[in-house]
Amino acid sequence: MAEAMPHAALTKDAPVAAAWEPRIVAFLCYWCSYTGADAAGTARLKYPPNVDVIRVMCSGRIDPELVTAALAKGADGVMVCGCHIGDCHYIAGNHKTMARMPLVARALAQLGIAPGRFVHEWVSAAEGDKFAALVDRVTRQVRRLGPLDWPRRMRERGVPGGRGLSPWSEP
Amino acid sequence: MTGRRITIDPVTRLEGHGRIDIFLDEQGEVGDCFFQVPELRGFEKFCEGRPVEEMPRITTRICGVCPEAHMMAAAKAADAVYGITLPTTARLLRELQYQIFYVTDHTTHFYALAAPDFVMGPRSEPAQRNLIGIIRKLGLEIGGQVIQCRQWGHEAAEIFGGRPVRPINAIPGGMSKGLSADERKRLDEIVRFMVDFAQASLRLFRKVVLESGEYRDLILSGPYTHATYSMGLVDEQNHVNFYDGRVRVVDPEGKELVKFAPAEYAKHVAERVEPWTYLKFPYLKAVGWKGFVDGKDSGVYRATPGARLNVSDGMSTPLAQEAYEEYFETLTGDRTGRTPVHHTLAIHWARLVEMLHAAERAQELVRNPEITHPEHYRVLPTETPHEGVGTVEAPRGTLTHHYVTDEKGILKKVNLIVGTTNNHAAICLSIKKAAQSVLHAGVEPDEGLLNMIEMAFRAYDPCYGCATHALPGEMPLEVRIRDARGAVVRTLRR
Amino acid sequence: MTGPAPAERERHRIGMYWAAGCGGCDMSLLEIGPHLLELVDAADVVLWPCVADFKYRDVAGYPDGHIDVCFVNGAVRNSEEEEVARLLRKKSRTLVAYGACAIEGGVPALASLGAVEPLFDAVYRDNPSIDNPAGTLPRTSTETPHGPLHLPSFYRQVLRLRDVVEVDYQIPGCPPQAPQVWSVVQAVLNGGVPAKGDGRKVGCDDKSVCDTCAREKRHVRISGFKRPHEAVPEPGWCLLEQGFLCMGPATRGGCGALCLKASLPCRGCYGPSGTAEDQGMAMIGALGSILDATTEERARELVAQVVDPVGTFYRFSLASSHLKGGRAEGRGAP
Amino acid sequence: MVHPGPAPADPLPPHPPRIGVFVCRCGGNISDVVDVERVAAEAARMPGVVLAAAYPFVCSDPGQALIEEKIRGLALERVVVAACSPTLHQTTFRRTIDRAGLNQYLFEHVNVREQVSWVVEDEEAATRKASRLVRAAAARAAHLVPLDKRRIPIQPSALVIGGGVAGLVAARDLARRGMKVTLVENRPFLGGRMAQLHTLFPTGDNARDLLAALIQETVREPRVRILTGAHVIGTEGVVGDFRTRLRLEPRGVDEHLTYPGNAIAACPEETINEFDFALSRRKAIYHAYPGCYPPMPAIDWRSCTRCGKCLAAVGGKGIDLKSEPREIELHTGVIVLATGYDPYEPLYGEYGYGIFPQVLTLQQLIRLLDPEGPSGGHLAGNGKGPGRVAFIHCVGARQVDGVNVPGPDGKVKEYCARTCCTGALHAALELKARYPEARITSFYQDIRTYGRFHEEYYERAAEKGVLFVKYDPKHPPRVERDSRDQSPLVVRAKDMLTGGLELEAPADLVVLATGVVPHDISELISMYRCAVGYDSFLLEVHPKLRPVELAVSGVFLAGCCQGPMDITEACAAASAAASKAAAMIAQGRVEMDPFVSRVDESLCTGCQTCLTVCPYEAVTRDQARRVSRVSEALCTGCGTCVASCPSNAIQQFGFTDAQVISEVDTLLAPEPAPEPVPA
């Protein structure tokens, strides 16, 4: 994963970015949550700029591999939003999300990712205020947790390997 | 000198899997000798958080050479965690599978790893000193039988657990599947063959080894002899039992030191840590750690086929009992077996005696009508899981798994004392002693001498797969001989 | 033993080496049984510490590329194994990662879930049988009256062979199944191997374990999870559908669904199937799709019945997962 | 094919495609907060980007013309537009680049208005976010492939569910546009709620005369097929070919029935007549109302004992007491929902309803005022008239949380039912007309005679001396027994206009102007996955832009299933739905986005996980080849099967792993060093 080293480059090439800002990737379903995010905009609600939205047609499309990929590539947090149960534009796409994401959350916790970094919420097309509040909450809690910077963490541990690993330092 | 060691010498690294450092004193005699094991994986830690019922499947990955031993120890520990008493059929199946594994495993070791020394000669061409060489010398018939024994052993494993190697079928409460009448029939054939094969192997041993004076002397010679304590599982009659029983320890004279239930292992065995190796050194608490010395005052013990015969008053099966008596008769003059055998190289012989016993015992089991019961191959746990210890005799020594779980059966604590580890201290002793006997001032060490050092620990069939990760037998070995100032005067390598 | 090898075939030089493995891989290569004789007949085994010390030479002394095909099993757990891997890469024309540990870290990679210090404590300081009042731990360098003794340094993370050197082929499995192995070895001997690819998988199926599993899929959703010791599965019916967590769908085939024959669920030793990279998340994606839940409460109930998700979904592949363990923060209780 | 690295799953073309990036200022909406020049400049550094610039209004005609010109001039192969939300203009720009001869799916829409400039205060932060999103879109664009819209042939036929006025209008209009129409009504008679009315505001027409005319117009249309007693029990398929399963309750009566009157007279079984809101009783074999359609009576199987007396009375012909329900399947291209409303049924004791016989609902009053109604149009048998009448408005409408008792759904009815004010005044005036001496008090929250010509009713009522009392919704009127026995009841309320003065009005009759609730169609809602509003009425795609369409393609809304309407509005809505549906059918095919899933059979490992995940049953297994398949016709493009595939063998067009991951990669990549700030 030598390619997943944005932050090394970042601190080197872009001093402005040295002041750390949480990087959060949000996967939103088009029909409810994305429209809900639009609603927040239409209502001119203000929320932090740290959450970048990736649009899919249905939250059922959100492959758990996307969550870990985003974290592995340097995201400090990941959000997954879909229609409320019963509102799915595709009948039951979000039923799959509803079962997958708690499993993802448990696995991430076991893998040592603080629970606050992965958030799964239902946001309807009308809930612009909820979306804004959610982004605000998640950004604040990720900021509290500090940088995750998985690529750096892995390089320290010698992934990808090569010489210059940091072996276990003796007592 | 430290500076010199820093520069990475791939050779050293490459062959560092088992490393022996021999230090010579001023007189050029062997001063001290270290046997290092440079590998650790840490199952004790990363098994925490795993469900206990998975341990029979996880711990088979500790060692690919004797996975059955770990599976059985893990399953027994898990049974204990759930407070399960196995139904007869389940118990029969487990033991039968285990006995058959014993035959296969001992076959592998004797023919592929030990026999070459005896058959080809300790100082023969290394290129010839292997299974292929054996087959060439003894002919395809015996070679064929060796391979057949291994293959039928794996076929048996497949009958039990679907897998030829790395079985998984022992679970808390018994076995994951039962035995059909047809399967039993096939196993009966396999076992019958194994009994014959074990007897043939003993005959072979007599012919090539005992009838040759050179080896008799070698076996009885001082360098390969240590008077240590012996450890092994025995049944109520103090007969050798691989699968179950109590742990018996006898002193160098053969007097019983202690006989304890596996669950109490921690009261009697302690493990010492040395900073220069990743492998621990178990010893007898009652006696205490006196360093790398043998004798009655040193807690160093051995848990090998030889040790198992030492702690037992005999074998529960007729043919094995005969072999047992012949073994002791020959080596101690006392056919009762009350007098322990301390000759390291005799372990190979003891291994063949065990092989015969395992085959005979398997025959008893496979003919037990209860073994094909359609349901009693397992029971479902009902009690709340908590803590348990499981012990079996692995081919390479007493193997103990100790688990503590939460009320859901998720592991909170894991402790493992694996076969080879028991013998770690003794192996160091044997190597040192062998080195002292073959390396002298002015003697030019050659490959043959080196092999004779190696034979000292090969006899233990050291399985660092269990202990760490390396493999039995021909460990890539490097011997560095240094002068009194520590400078390497000679490096030998096989 | 039959006569010399057929003259027309150039004799290959083959090596087998282990790193942080258990020896099961070497055993599985032994499992080819009678073919072993064909192998040594057709090729020079120039390195195989576990069974043969004949022709065991100073590998470092070999010219580069001297070994035609070198199989390496086991993960890279310490500095020594990394050096070995580099050396063998240099000396081998074709380097083959052999078995789950070399390819995906295998079971030992679960150690990456935690830090090294607690691991050393568990092994050397804090267990019922330990006698270590001074809290001694193994060190990379120890002074003895006679001079220093060295040990390789223990890495914080379990690495795959691919993490340290370029790998040409990979033979999955824990261990790889003998027939598969033999077919690969034959291909090697007869030059029938597919074109080199970065870690191209050989000696396995393109299909999943489910495809080779004889058990019937009834396409019913999972209404509750059972642990293997908690119930006796109905014969002939998909274990996953019965609620026994089975990695079959997310696992590359090749083993012949052996564990299923023992009526125990698959644990994923052949690694992710298809082009999935993160076997655990791939399985979660699949599992979450087939739960019998229409309310969040029900979904939560079912999910709560899954014990030890990481230990189950990443049993063999943690080192090749996206996150690789690495214990960032939090207690990581399942 | 999720890759932690940037290596795309789909190999990129040897040369990165030529990408044009258009950043919209949106007349300051965007550019006031976002430094659009900088965003464009940073996008210009992305691989393959040959043009990146900011423009005032990209969606305007000149803006679109510019895009076309650039596509031609610079041979652009991909287009990225950063502007408002894709929900507004994605289609616009797709058409634009289509006109320029570029496949319309080689387009990437970035939302830098609703999700950046309107929500981020800090300009630097907004600019950086916009830049990230635009660069991610440019990266994604490189992975786009040309796609074609799916075209599904559409049957020139429609199913109209609901035989009320809206359903009838919709059916008639569709038929007149040449469509085959099946009109299903689950009751045995057409006409719905309108039939229960007497005269109509604002015209004063007779409801059933109008209805009869409409029914005649409709049933005379040769392409219209009427099915009464028909229940929708299942549906499959999608727009173009909905396959609807119906259960047909037997009428029990056929055209051979000569003297229906005799049959009805002979029936010994009586039951409540729901048509008169339980003010009367009817037989088990019955007519819903005089002149109802179909004209022949029907048997109410719930109360019929199959005693056979009716059969005997008509000489054993024309009545079949043994007939059983049967099921049929209909294939239609589109569906119109006209399932209507129910009047709000007050709770027991609400304003004395159910306790005092003198408390009626407006609907009941209307039945009583109807000369063909249960009382022949007379309020009280003695002909003396009602005396003092109190109307209470907003019963089951405009309710206040915490004051009114919530309904079974746990919600109070906060919405205005819109028809009851005028309806109540209309009834009040009719009372006045018939019983000039009647003294009428009207308790209201607000008088909402909002419709054209409706206000007159209020003015005339005021002239005629109807007394208006504005009550406080937080303290609704109380209906109690009159202790002083001047009249059976007394209504007490705080009069807002006199500063909360407690007023009381003795009443011989209390009329509750009840609101309307959607007719219970929960099965249909789940069958067609209809969106439902907070008020439990069906929810259109957009109240202004697409007012009569459901989000489910091919399903349209007519009348009160969408919300409270008067007949005028319901008919308008029905005609609108009909013309929308007809327009869709007229195209001969429906066009759908091509974002369907496809199984890469070389990767499918045959684990069969996907087979149970698709609610549209678009995923099937090819037993012979041991792989899964996705039917493009049935696939609705949610991508759920994609995430369910543990081998990543399923990909969704427009949302491939490579495309999504390229976005992730770019979003998380180092941000470009800022341009030197011009002095």
Mean pLDDT of A119-146: 95
The DSSP H or E segment spanning D63 is helix D61-74
CATH number of D1-149: 3.40.50
Nearest residue of C to residue D651 by CA position? C275
D612/C276 CB distance under 8 A: no
C113/B67 CB distance under 8 A: no
Contacts of B347 (CB under 8 A, 6+ apart): B304, B305, B306, B459, B460, B461
Facing residue for D3 by CB, picked from C277, C282, C288: C277
User: Is it the case that residue A4 has pLDDT exceeding 80?
Assistant: no
C323/A109 CB distance under 8 A: no
Q: Residue C163: list chain A partners with CB under 8 A.
A: 158-161
What are the residue boundaries of the structural domains of chain B, listed by start? 2-41+424-459+476-493, 85-222+343-372, 226-342
pLDDT digits (tens, 9 = 90+) for A7-52: 333 333 344 445 899 999 999 999 999 999 999 999 999 999 999 9
Q: H/E/C letters for each residue in D194-256?
A: HHHCCECCCCCCEHHHHHHHHHHHHHHCCCEEEEECEEEEEEEEECCEEEEEEEECCCCECCC
The DSSP H or E segment spanning D86 is helix D86-99
User: Is it the case that residue B86 has pLDDT exceeding 80?
Assistant: yes
| pTM, two decimal places | 0.80
pLDDT digits (tens, 9 = 90+) for C11-43: 788 888 888 888 888 888 877 767 877 777 788
Q: pLDDT class for B4, splitting at 50, 70, 90?
A: very low
Q: Residue D135: list chain A partners with CB under 8 A.
A: none
Facing residue for C313 by CB, picked from A85, A107, A167: A107
Cα B337 to Cα B111, B209, B322, B328: the distances in Å are 26, 21, 12, 6
Q: Residue A31: list chain D partners with CB under 8 A.
A: 551
Please report whether residue A162 resides in a domain.
no
Chain mean pLDDT for chain C? 86
Q: How many CB atoms lie within 10 A of CB B189?
A: 11
Mean pLDDT of D523-529: 85
Of B269, B339, B326, B259, nearest in space to B302 by CA: B269
Mean pLDDT of C82-106: 93
CATH number of D596-652: 3.30.70.20
User: For residue B129, what pLDDT is reported?
Assistant: 61
Contacts of C156 (CB under 8 A, 6+ apart): A156, A157, A158, A165, A166, A167, A168, C112, C115, C116
User: Is it the case that residue D363 has pLDDT exceeding 80?
Assistant: yes
User: For residue C5, what pLDDT is reported?
Assistant: 37
Cβ(A91)–Cβ(C312) below 8 Å: no
Mean pLDDT of D558-570: 96
User: Is it the case that residue B474 has pLDDT exceeding 50?
Assistant: no
Residues B279 and C152: their CA atoms lie apart, in Å, by: 13
**Subunits with 3+ C-beta pairs closer than 8 A to C:** A, B, D
Tell me if residue D623 falls in helix, strand or coil: coil
C26/B471 CB distance under 8 A: yes
Q: Residue A52: list chain D partners with CB under 8 A.
A: 129, 132-133, 136, 667
More confident residue, D8 or D527: D527
What is the Cα C33 distance to its own chain's centre?
A: 22
Residues B357 and B98: their CA atoms lie apart, in Å, by: 12
Among A42-51, B341-350, D176-185, the least confident range: B341-350
Q: HSE-up of B306 (CA within 13 Å, CB side)?
A: 28
**Subunits with 3+ C-beta pairs closer than 8 A to B:** C
Residues D99 and D97: their CA atoms lie apart, in Å, by: 5
Exposure string (b/e) for B312-341, b if CB count within 10 Å is 16 or more? bebbbbebbbebbbbbbebbbeebebebbb
pLDDT digits (tens, 9 = 90+) for B400-453: 999 999 999 999 999 999 878 888 899 888 888 888 887 776 666 666 676 677
Token pair 């007493």 is found at: B398
With pLDDT > 90 as the criterion, what percentage of chain D qualifies? 79
User: For residue D12, what pLDDT is reported?
Assistant: 53
DSSP D503: E
C and A touch per CB criterion (3+ pairs under 8 A): yes
A112/C332 CB distance under 8 A: yes
Cα A147 to Cα A78, B129, C277, C328, D535: the distances in Å are 13, 59, 25, 11, 45
C285/D611 CB distance under 8 A: no
CATH topology of domain D157-249+325-340+525-589: FAD/NAD(P)-binding domain (3.50.50)
CATH number of D342-517: 3.50.50.60
pLDDT digits (tens, 9 = 90+) for C207-234: 999 999 999 999 999 999 999 999 999 9
User: For residue D220, what pLDDT is reported?
Assistant: 94
Q: How many domains does chain A have?
A: 1
Q: Residue D3: list chain C partners with CB under 8 A.
A: 277
User: Is it the case that residue B5 has pLDDT exceeding 50?
Assistant: no
User: Is it the case that residue B16 has pLDDT exceeding 60?
Assistant: no
Residues D132 and D451: their CA atoms lie apart, in Å, by: 51
User: For residue B151, what pLDDT is reported?
Assistant: 85
**Most B-contacting residue of C73, C129, C181, C215 (CB-CB within 10 A), to test interface:** C129
A112/C155 CB distance under 8 A: no
Residues B350 and B370: their CA atoms lie apart, in Å, by: 31
Mean pLDDT of D478-486: 87
Facing residue for A71 by CB, picked from C306, C323, C327: C323
User: Is it the case that residue D7 has pLDDT exceeding 60?
Assistant: no
Asked if B150 has any chain C CB less than 8 Å from its own CB, the reply is yes
**Most B-contacting residue of C22, C58, C260 (CB-CB within 10 A), to test interface:** C22
Chain mean pLDDT for chain B? 84
**Most D-contacting residue of C211, C220, C239 (CB-CB within 10 A), to test interface:** C211
Q: H/E/C letters for each residue in chain C?
A: CCCCCCCCCCCEEEEEEECECCCHHHHHHHCCCCHHHHHHHHEEEEEECCCECCCCCCHHHCCCCCEEEEEEECEEEEHHHHHHHHHHHHHEEEEEEECHHHHHCCHHHHHHHCCHHHHHHHHHHCCCCEECCCCCCCCCEEEECCEEEECCCEEEEEECHHHHCCCCEEECCCCCCHHHHHHHHHHHHCCCCCCCCCCEECCCCCCEHHHHCCCECCCCCECCCECCCCCCCCCCECCCCCCECCCHHHEECCCCCHHHHCCCCCCCCCCECCCCCCHHHHHHHHHCCCECCCCHHHHHHHHHCCCCHHHHHCCCCHHHCCCCCCCCCCCCCC
Q: Residue A98: list chain C partners with CB under 8 A.
A: 293, 296, 299
pLDDT digits (tens, 9 = 90+) for B144-183: 888 788 889 989 988 998 777 788 999 999 999 999 999 9
A141: containing domain: 21-156
Q: Which residues pair with D328 in a beta bridge?
A: D246
Chain mean pLDDT for chain D? 92
C129/B265 CB distance under 8 A: yes
Asked if A161 has any chain C CB less than 8 Å from its own CB, the reply is yes
User: Is it the case that residue A64 has pLDDT exceeding 80?
Assistant: yes
**Most A-contacting residue of D3, D140, D667 (CB-CB within 10 A), to test interface:** D667
User: For residue D231, what pLDDT is reported?
Assistant: 96
Among A90-99, A157-166, B280-289, C280-289, the least confident range: A157-166
Asked if D8 has any chain A CB less than 8 Å from its own CB, the reply is no
Cα B116 to Cα B108, B217, D56, D374, D392: the distances in Å are 12, 18, 88, 113, 109
Mean pLDDT of C117-132: 92
User: What tokens were used for D53?
Assistant: 């610039």
Q: How many CB atoms lie within 10 A of CB B139?
A: 11
With pLDDT > 70 as the criterion, what percentage of chain C qualifies? 90
Cβ(C88)–Cβ(C17) below 8 Å: yes
Asked if A107 has any chain C CB less than 8 Å from its own CB, the reply is yes
- Per DSSP, chain D holds a count of helices (H) and strands (E) of 15, 32
Among D28-37, D380-389, D540-549, the least confident range: D380-389
User: What tokens were used for D409?
Assistant: 């759904």
Task: Please determine whether the domains at D157-249+325-340+525-589 and D342-517 fall in the same fold group of CATH.
Answer: yes
pLDDT digits (tens, 9 = 90+) for D186-213: 999 999 999 999 999 999 999 999 999 9
Residues B468 and B420: their CA atoms lie apart, in Å, by: 9
In D590-619, the residues whose Cβ lies within 8 Å of chain A are 595, 613, 615-616
Mean pLDDT of D398-416: 90
Mean pLDDT of C48-56: 47
- The CATH number assigned to the domain holding A99 equals 3.40.50
Cβ(B98)–Cβ(B193) below 8 Å: no
Give the count of Cβ contacts less than 8 A between chain A and D.
Answer: 160
Facing residue for C151 by CB, picked from B36, B131, B166: B36
C137/A72 CB distance under 8 A: no
Mean pLDDT of D496-511: 91
Q: pLDDT class for A160, splitting at 50, 70, 90?
A: low
Q: pLDDT class for B127, splitting at 50, 70, 90?
A: low
C211-217 long-range contacts (CB < 8 A, ≥24 apart) are: C211/C253, C211/D605, C211/D606, C211/D607, C211/D626, C212/C253, C212/C255, C212/C256, C212/C257, C213/C238, C213/C248, C213/C257, C213/C260, C213/C266, C214/C257, C214/C260, C214/C261, C215/C239, C215/C260, C217/C241, C217/D608, C217/D611
Of D572, D529, D528, nearest in space to D547 by CA: D572
Q: pLDDT class for D312, splitting at 50, 70, 90?
A: very high
Q: How many CB atoms lie within 10 A of CB B479?
A: 22
User: Is it the case that residue D453 has pLDDT exceeding 60?
Assistant: yes
User: Is it the case that residue C198 has pLDDT exceeding 90?
Assistant: no
Nearest residue of A to residue C115 by CA position? A168
More confident residue, C51 or D430: D430
B494/C128 CB distance under 8 A: no
**Subunits with 3+ C-beta pairs closer than 8 A to D:** A, C
Asked if D296 has any chain A CB less than 8 Å from its own CB, the reply is no
User: Is it the case that residue D83 has pLDDT exceeding 90?
Assistant: yes
A107/C280 CB distance under 8 A: yes
Residues B103 and B195: their CA atoms lie apart, in Å, by: 9
The DSSP H or E segment spanning B353 is helix B347-366
User: What tokens were used for C269?
Assistant: 């030793």
In D599-628, the residues whose Cβ lies within 8 Å of chain C are 602-613, 626
pLDDT digits (tens, 9 = 90+) for D533-547: 778 899 887 788 789
What are the residue boundaries of the structural domains of chain D, listed by start? 1-149, 157-249+325-340+525-589, 260-313, 342-517, 596-652
With pLDDT > 70 as the criterion, what percentage of chain B qualifies? 83
Q: All domains of chain C, ordered by start, with CATH?
A: 12-108+157-201 (3.40.50.700), 116-155 (no CATH), 205-324 (no CATH)
Among C95-109, D203-217, D521-535, the least confident range: D521-535
User: Is it the case that residue B389 has pLDDT exceeding 80?
Assistant: yes
The conformational region for residue B440 under phi > 0 = left, psi -120 to 50 = alpha, else beta, is beta
Asked if B270 has any chain C CB less than 8 Å from its own CB, the reply is yes
Question: Domain B85-222+343-372 class?
Answer: mainly alpha
Please report the ipTM that was assigned to this predicted complex. Answer: 0.88
C330/A115 CB distance under 8 A: yes
Asked if C51 has any chain A CB less than 8 Å from its own CB, the reply is no
Q: pLDDT class for D385, splitting at 50, 70, 90?
A: confident
User: For residue B138, what pLDDT is reported?
Assistant: 72
Give the count of Cβ contacts less than 8 A between chain C and D.
Answer: 94
Asked if C150 has any chain A CB less than 8 Å from its own CB, the reply is no
C285/D4 CB distance under 8 A: no
B and C touch per CB criterion (3+ pairs under 8 A): yes
Residues B366 and A158: their CA atoms lie apart, in Å, by: 52
